[in-house]
Structure formats: structure tokens, C-alpha cells
């Protein structure tokens, strides 16, 4: 039966395919004519923080634009499942959803496969200046911008203020210092584990890896993506360091199975001194429902290796808003995008839901910063993007996290893992892979 299910999965997309062949994006032209009437557009978005962000946004938007109604369609929280759903629908020519939330690593794949509208063709240059530096470049592929940055995210170091105070330790600024402090706290039985992070076999490991590898001076590709550079002495140093966290028991042995929630659980239960996580970990660790460390948590930029520029690198995460190329209501879609990246929406996002706004003037606003402590840190972090400029990024990332995970588990040596990753990335970009 399961094989049948897999087949149905395949065939579902096939049926959609069949209907797609006759479809053309002619719907775009019609949008001007229907502008007078009330139009409903469909917004496909995941629950974000589960605290009603989307509904609040929609209410405020409909108040400002009474001629446009937004129908919310809830997407799965797993980014890969969400992507599969979208690619199946849009490649099949579906006109709904009109706008959708999408991961910051999607522009190349979606742009390359015509799954998102090149927004830079429809929105003036002046529109794009509202975003914080680097974000528009991250949403671009081959000179066109495909997504409007909605909210951003980055890796942070969360630490236990109370433990560091008890042991008279500073917030670590280098990786060896973090290890030393962890061991000290562990030895004094103040805490069970030193540092928890994301080491499981999935996209999150790629994020954590990008940070440590960049700290060591390594890279995945050279500047113009023409050469795979991951198998370097710098990368080896980074991978050996990550593996040593596990062998020295600074990180638990189960680290190789940790995604965000597992690492978060250990930290929230009071069993780890340091945590690497995204921006939501702030509100999560301060929620008395889930956390035993309320009020004891501090946030700082991630450490780096000694002798490198301070602070360490933080991987850029977050979400953009994209437009379905088959949408019939382009004008309304663009109105929604302009509003949701504008001052009112972004202030709601930052102050009521503690997300990091993409709108630069909101991000810098002291009144907003007072209500969102992570925002103060975000200006000091050193951002690094994943190599998502390649349309085969999913295969590239998989080549990294699956091999790195094996090295972390100790089933292959760090050198072997990097060699295998290099080979598989090369196969992926030269289209010799699957």
C-alpha cells in the first residue's frame, strides 16, 4: 500500500502536469480591469510563531485596503514539505495561492524553474531600498528579485546569565573559550551539558556549519560558484572542532540527532549553559509554560575562532513573500506585498511577535528595539548566507549535512566527510547527480 501511496504522490503531480500544458500567464493583464470590485486573494503561509501573526496582519491590511480581502491558507511548518506542496501546485498551473511565504533559500530554485514571479520587473527600484542591507541580494537570482523579504532571522548565542555570574565567567567570544567555560561549569556540577546546537541530518546542520566553517575562513564555493571549495584545511579545522564538542562531552552524544526543538528542550530544561538558535529562542526560553530558565537567559552574537574578526558569523534565515506567476490579481498581490513590508506591518511584527523586521527603518527604530532585545544584537552580528544562489541548492545542502552528520557521529573521519561532500556537491552542480 505504501508503494501505492508513493505512486499516488507521483501521479498527483502528473495529473496536474497534464492540465498545465495548456496554461498561459495571460491572467496578469486582466488584473487592472477588476480593480474596482472587492477582490479576494489567497495567502499561503505557515503559522510562523503560532501566536496569531497572520490574522493580526490580515485584519490590519484589510482595514487599510478595504477593496482587497485576504484568504489565509495554512502551510505546513516543515519548510521542505511546504516547498513540495507549492512546487506541485504552481508547476501544475494553479492560480491559487496568489501570494505565498517562502524560505530565504528558495529564490534560485523558484526563479530557475519559473515558480515565482520576478518582482523586480513589477516594483520600482525605489521600493527595494526599504530593506536592510543584503536582504534584496539574498532574494535575487540572475539579476531579478523573486521574493520580498518579510522577516529575517539569524543564529544567536543564548547563554545562562545566572551560571556565568555564579562562576564569574564572561560571555564567550571565541569557540575555545566557550569550550573552556563549558567544561568548568560541567566540572563544578552547575550544569549537565555545555553547549547544544543543531547537529541532525537536515537543513539546520547546514546553517550551523556555515557559521563555524566561515569562522575558520572556509567556504563552500568560490565567489562565482565555478569551483567547489569545501574540502579545505579551514573546513577541516571547523569540522574537527564540532566533532570535538561531542567527544569531549561539552555537547551531548545525542547532538547528532538534534534539530531546533531538541536543542531548545535541553536548554529550556536548564541542562545546558549555551545554546545556538534563531531569534524565536528568546521568547521561547522566557515562556514559563515551556521553560525552567525564564529570566536567566542572555543573548549575544556567536563566538568565532581566536584571531578572527569579532564576532563570529551568523547564518541568515527568514522568510520572503513570493507571487505565484499564474495569479490573476497581480495588482492586489503587489499592494499586499508593499503593505506587509512597510512600516505599520513590520512594526507589528517586531513589537508584538518579536520577529526581526526586514524594513530597515523599523529595525533601527529605538522605540521598537526597546520592546525586542534581540534586535539590539542583530546589528552587531556578522551575517553569512547559505550558498543558495545555485538552483540546485537543495542537493548542495544535502551533500553537506548528510556527510557532516556522519562525521559528527564518528562513522567517517572529518577528512573523508569533506571529500565526500565535495564530490557530491560537484556532481550536483554539474548536473551529474540525480
Partner 1 sequence: MRALNLRTKTVSLGGHRPLKVQLARQGWVFSAPAFFIIAGITIFPILFSVFMSLSHISLTYSGFKFQWAGMSNYSLVWSNSLFQYALGFTIIYTLVTVTVELILGMGVALVLHKLTSGRGFLLAVLLLPWALITAISAEMWSFIYNGVYGVLNAIVMGLGLAGHPVIWLGTPMLAIASTMVADIWKTTPFVAIILFAGLQMISSEVFEAASIDGAGAWQAFWRITLPLLKPTLLVALLFRTLQAFGVFDLPFVLTGGGPGHATESLAILSYQVLFEDLSFGPGAAIATSTTLIVMAVAFVFLRVFRVQVGDSESST
Determine if 115 is a binding residue for partner 1 (CB under 8 A). yes
Determine if 244 is a binding residue for partner 1 (CB under 8 A). no
d(CA 364, CA 133): 12
- Which residue, 275 or 299, is less far from partner 1 as judged by CB? 275
d(CA 145, CA 110): 11
Asked if omega into 284 is within 30° of 0 (cis), the reply is no
Determine if 266 is a binding residue for partner 1 (CB under 8 A). yes
Stretch that binds partner 1, among 29-37, 112-120, 276-284, 335-343 (CB under 8 A): 112-120
Contact 321, 61 (CB under 8 A): no
Supply the minimum distance, in Å, between the C-beta of residue 363 and partner 1.
Answer: 32
* Beta strand pairing call for 382-384 and 313-323: parallel
Rounded to a whole number of angstroms, the CA Rg of the chain reads 22
Grid cell in block for residue 76 = 505546513
DSSP secondary structure letter of residue 174 = B
Q: Which of 264, 275, 349, 392 binds partner 1 (CB under 8 A)?
A: 392
Determine if 2 is a binding residue for partner 1 (CB under 8 A). yes
Determine if 109 is a binding residue for partner 1 (CB under 8 A). yes
Long-range contact pairs involving 228-232 (C-beta distance under 8 Å, separation at least 24): 228/422, 228/425, 228/426, 228/429, 230/400, 230/418, 230/421, 230/422, 230/425, 231/418, 231/419, 231/421, 231/422, 232/418
Q: 194 to each of 145, 201, 342, how far by Cα in Å?
A: 41, 21, 41
Under DSSP, is residue 195 helix (H, G, I), strand (E, B) or coil?
A: strand
Find cell 547537529 and name the residue. 199
Question: Crossing angle for the helix pair 233-247 and 175-187, nearest 10 degrees?
Answer: 10
d(CA 157, CA 281): 10
Determine if 96 is a binding residue for partner 1 (CB under 8 A). no
d(CA 329, CA 338): 14
Q: Closest Cα to residue 255, out of 200, 310, 297, 192?
A: 200
- Which residue, 228 or 300, is less far from partner 1 as judged by CB? 228
Stretch that binds partner 1, among 148-156, 178-186, 275-283, 396-404 (CB under 8 A): 396-404
Q: Which of 293, 394, 414, 429 binds partner 1 (CB under 8 A)?
A: 394
Determine if 286 is a binding residue for partner 1 (CB under 8 A). no
Supply the minimum distance, in Å, between the C-beta of residue 70 and partner 1.
Answer: 24
Determine if 433 is a binding residue for partner 1 (CB under 8 A). yes
CA 372 to centroid of chain Cα atoms: 19
Determine if 121 is a binding residue for partner 1 (CB under 8 A). no
Interface map 152-191 toward partner 1 (x if CB under 8 A): ----------------------------------------
Determine if 87 is a binding residue for partner 1 (CB under 8 A). yes
Supply the minimum distance, in Å, between the C-beta of residue 43 and partner 1.
Answer: 21
Contact 322, 75 (CB under 8 A): no
- Which residue, 59 or 74, is less far from partner 1 as judged by CB? 74
Footprint of partner 1 on residues 18-37 (CB under 8 A)? 18, 20-25
Q: 407 to each of 233, 258, 320, 414, how far by Cα in Å?
A: 16, 15, 33, 5
**CA angle, residues 95, 99, 103, in degrees to nearest 5:** 120
Supply the minimum distance, in Å, between the C-beta of residue 256 and partner 1.
Answer: 4
Supply the minimum distance, in Å, between the C-beta of residue 126 and partner 1.
Answer: 27
Determine if 201 is a binding residue for partner 1 (CB under 8 A). yes
Determine if 226 is a binding residue for partner 1 (CB under 8 A). no
Determine if 257 is a binding residue for partner 1 (CB under 8 A). yes
Determine if 91 is a binding residue for partner 1 (CB under 8 A). yes
- Which residue, 61 or 274, is less far from partner 1 as judged by CB? 274
DSSP secondary structure letter of residue 221 = B
Supply the minimum distance, in Å, between the C-beta of residue 406 and partner 1.
Answer: 4
DSSP secondary structure letter of residue 168 = T
Total residues binding partner 1 (CB under 8 A): 62
Determine if 303 is a binding residue for partner 1 (CB under 8 A). no
d(CA 118, CA 111): 7
Stretch that binds partner 1, among 91-99, 282-290, 333-341, 370-378 (CB under 8 A): 91-99
Stretch that binds partner 1, among 131-139, 254-262, 349-357, 370-378 (CB under 8 A): 254-262
d(CA 92, CA 143): 26
- Which residue, 56 or 265, is less far from partner 1 as judged by CB? 265
Supply the minimum distance, in Å, between the C-beta of residue 311 and partner 1.
Answer: 29
**Residue 42: exposure state from Cβ atoms within 10 A (0-12, 13-18, ≥19):** buried
Residues in the site for partner 1, rule: CB under 8 A?
Answer: 1-15, 17-18, 20-25, 80, 83-84, 87-88, 91-93, 109, 113-115, 200-202, 252-254, 256-257, 262, 265-266, 271, 325-326, 392, 394-395, 398, 402-403, 405-406, 409-411, 433-434
Amino acid at each position: 500500500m505504501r508503494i501505492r501511496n508513493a505512486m499516488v504522490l507521483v501521479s498527483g503531480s502528473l495529473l496536474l502536469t497534464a492540465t498545465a500544458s495548456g496554461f498561459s500567464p495571460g491572467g496578469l493583464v486582466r488584473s487592472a480591469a477588476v480593480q474596482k470590485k472587492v477582490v479576494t486573494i489567497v495567502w499561503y503561509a505557515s503559522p510562523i510563531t503560532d501566536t496569531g501573526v497572520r490574522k493580526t496582519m490580515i485584519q490590519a491590511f484589510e482595514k487599510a485596503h478595504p477593496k482587497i480581502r485576504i484568504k489565509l491558507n495554512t502551510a505546513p511548518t516543515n519548510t521542505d514539505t511546504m516547498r513540495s506542496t507549492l512546487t506541485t501546485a504552481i508547476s501544475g498551473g494553479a492560480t491559487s495561492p496568489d501570494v505565498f511565504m517562502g524560505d530565504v533559500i528558495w529564490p534560485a530554485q523558484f526563479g530557475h524553474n519559473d515558480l515565482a514571479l520576478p518582482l523586480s520587473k513589477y516594483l520600482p527600484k525605489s521600493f527595494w531600498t526599504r530593506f536592510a542591507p543584503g536582504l534584496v541580494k539574498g532574494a535575487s537570482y540572475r539579476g531579478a528579485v523573486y521574493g520580498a523579504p518579510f522577516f529575517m532571522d539569524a543564529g544567536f548565542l543564548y547563554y545562562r546569565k545566572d551560571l556565568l555570574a555564579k562562576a564569574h565567567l564572561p560571555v564567550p567570544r571565541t569557540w575555545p573559550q566557550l569550550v573552556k567555560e563549558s567544561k568548568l561549569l560541567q566540572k563544578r556540577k552547575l550544569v549537565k551539558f555545555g553547549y547544544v546546537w543543531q547537529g541532525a541530518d537536515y537543513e539546520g546542520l547546514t546553517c550551523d556549519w556555515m557559521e563555524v566553517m566561515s569562522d575558520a575562513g572556509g567556504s563552500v564555493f568560490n565567489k562565482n560558484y565555478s569551483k567547489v571549495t569545501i574540502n579545505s584545511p579551514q573546513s577541516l579545522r571547523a569540522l574537527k572542532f564540532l566533532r570535538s564538542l561531542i567527544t569531549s562531552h561539552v555537547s551531548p552524544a545525542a547532538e547528532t540527532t538534534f534539530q531546533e526543538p531538541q536543542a531548545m528542550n535541553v536548554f529550556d530544561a536548564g541542562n545546558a549553559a549555551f545554546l545556538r538558535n534563531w531569534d524565536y529562542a528568546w521568547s521561547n526560553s522566557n515562556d514559563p509554560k515551556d521553560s525552567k530558565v525564564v529570566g536567566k537567559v542572555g543573548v549575544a552574537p556567536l563566538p568565532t575562532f581566536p584571531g578572527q574578526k569579532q564576532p563570529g558569523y551568523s547564518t541568515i534565515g527568514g522568510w520572503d513573500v513570493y507571487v505565484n506567476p499564474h495569479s490573476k490579481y497581480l495588482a492586489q498581490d503587489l499592494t499586499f506585498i508593499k503593505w506587509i513590508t512597510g512600516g505599520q506591518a513590520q512594526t507589528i511584527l517586531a513589537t508584538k511577535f518579536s520577529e526581526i523586521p526586514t524594513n530597515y527603518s523599523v529595525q533601527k527604530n529605538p522605540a521598537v528595539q526597546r520592546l525586542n532585545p534581540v534586535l539590539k544584537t542583530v546589528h552587531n552580528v556578522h551575517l553569512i548566507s547559505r550558498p543558495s544562489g545555485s538552483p540546485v541548492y537543495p542537493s548542495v545542502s544535502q551533500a553537506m549535512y548528510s556527510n557532516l552528520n556522519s562525521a559528527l557521529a564518528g562513522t567517517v573521519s572529518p577528512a573523508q566527510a569533506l571529500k565526500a561532500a565535495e564530490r557530491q556537491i560537484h556532481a550536483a552542480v554539474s548536473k551529474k547527480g540525480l
